[in-house]
Amino acid sequence: MSSAGQAIEPIDLYDEPGLVLRLNAYLTEKLGRPVEIGALKRFAVGFSWITYGFSIPAPGIEGVTGLILRLGPALGLFAPYSAAPQYLSLKALEGHDVPAPRAYYWSDDAAILGAPFFISELVRGEAPIPWGPGSEMSDEFRHSLGAQFTDALGALHNIDWQRSGLAELAANVSVANAGLLQIEEWERNYHRWALKAYPMFDFALRWLRAHQPVAPRVSIVHGDYRLGNFLEVDGKITAILDWELVHLGDPHEDLAWFCLPQYRGGTKLMGKLIARDEFYARYEAKTGFAVSEESMRFYEIFNLVKLAATHMAGVYAFERKGFYDMRMPAMGTQIAPVLRQIEKALEANA
Amino acid sequence: MNNSLDRLIEGMVETLRREILPNLEGEFVRGQAYGVIYALKSLQLRASWSPAFLLAQIGALRELAEATAELPAEAPHVLLPDELPHDAGQLEKLRDTGDAAVSALIGWLAAHEHPAGDAAVRAYIHRQLKHELKTSAKPMFAEISLGKEQEA
Rounded Cα gap, residues B86 and B83, in angstroms: 9
Q: According to the model, what pLDDT value does residue A135 have?
A: 59
CA-based nearest distance A197→chain B, Å: 5
Q: How far is CA A235 from the centre of its chain?
A: 22
Confidence of residue A327 (pLDDT cuts 50, 70, 90): confident
> Which band of pLDDT confidence, cut at 50, 70 and 90, is reported for residue A4?
very low
CB-based contact, A350 to chain B, within 8 Å = no
Res. A154: pLDDT tops 60: yes
* Closest residue by Cα to residue A28 from A61, A51, A72: A61
Considering only alpha carbons, which residue of chain A is nearest residue B6?
A319
Mutation choice for B interface testing from A45, A129, A200, A312 by most B CBs within 10 A: A200
Instruction: Give A110-130 pLDDT, tens digit per residue.
Output: 999 999 999 999 999 988 876
Name the average pLDDT for chain B. Answer: 93
Q: What is the CA radius of gyration of chain B?
A: 21
Q: Is A206 on the interface with B (CB under 8 A)?
A: yes
Chain B contact present for A281, CB below 8 A: no
Whole-number average pLDDT of chain A = 92
Cβ neighbors of B151 (< 8 A, separation 6 or more) are none
Instruction: Given the cut 0.90, state whether the ipTM is greater than it.
Output: yes
**B152–chain A Cβ distance below 8 A for any pair:** no
The CATH number of the structural domain formed by A139-349 is 3.90.1200.10
Across A62-116, where does the E strand assignment appear? 66-71, 103-107
CB-nearest to B3 from A200, A209, A329 is: A329
Task: Using the predicted structure, report yes or no on whether residue A336 has a pLDDT greater than 80.
Answer: yes
Distance set, CA A143 to CA A83, A236, A278 (Å): 34, 11, 10
Out of 3.40.920.10, 3.30.200.20, 3.40.50.80, 3.30.70.1280, which CATH number does the structure's domain A16-121 have? 3.30.200.20
Band of pLDDT at residue B146, cut at 50, 70 and 90: confident
Which residue, among A232, A251, A249, A229, has the nearest Cα to A240 in the 3D structure?
A229
Query: Is B132's Cβ below 8 Å from some Cβ in A?
Result: yes
Residues of B in contact with A262 (CB under 8 A): none
- Which pLDDT score is estimated for A2? 35
Quick one: pLDDT at residue A5? 38
Residue among B11, B125, B133 whose CB faces A326 most closely: B11
B96–A contact, CB cutoff 8 A: yes
d(CA A169, CA A91): 14
Is any Cβ of chain B less than 8 angstroms from the Cβ of A343? yes
Type of residue found at A299: Y
Contact A239, A99 (CB under 8 A): yes
Residue-wise pLDDT tens digits, A74-103:
888 888 899 999 999 999 999 999 999 999
Cβ distance A325 to B10 less than 8 Å, yes or no, reads: no
Average pLDDT over residues B10-30: 94
Q: What is the pTM (predicted TM-score) of this model?
A: 0.92
Q: In this predicted model, what pLDDT tens digit does every residue of A314-326 receive, in sequence order?
A: 999 999 888 788 8
- Rounded to a whole number, what is the distance in Å from the CA of A312 to chain B's nearest CA? 8
- Domain positions in chain A: 16-121, 139-349
Count other Cβ atoms within 10 Å, centred on residue A189: 18
Contact by Cβ (8 Å): A119, A106: yes
Chain segment A46-69, per-residue pLDDT in tens? 778 999 999 999 999 999 999 999
Task: Give how far the C-alpha of residue A240 lies from the chain's centroid of Cα atoms, to the nearest Å.
Answer: 10
The closest alpha carbon to A264, from A123, A160, A169, A135, belongs to: A135
Nearest Cα of chain A lies from the Cα of B89 at a distance, in angstroms, of: 14
pLDDT over threshold 60, residue A8: no
Bridging pattern class, strands A117-121 and A219-221:
unpaired
Tens digits of residue pLDDT in A206-248: 999 999 999 999 999 999 999 989 999 999 999 999 999 999 9
For A246-295, the pLDDT digits (tens) are 999 999 999 999 999 999 988 999 999 999 999 999 999 999 999 999 99
The mean pLDDT of A199-208, rounded to a whole number, is 98
**Residue A237 pairs with which residues in a beta bridge?**
A232
Chain A residues lying within 8 Å of B2, measured CB to CB:
195, 312, 315, 329, 332-333, 335
Distance of CA A299 to the CA centre of its chain: 16
On whether the CB atoms of residues B102 and B53 are closer than 8 A, the answer is no
Q: Which residue of A has its CA nearest to B98?
A: A197
Q: Which amino acid appears at position A165 of this protein?
A: G
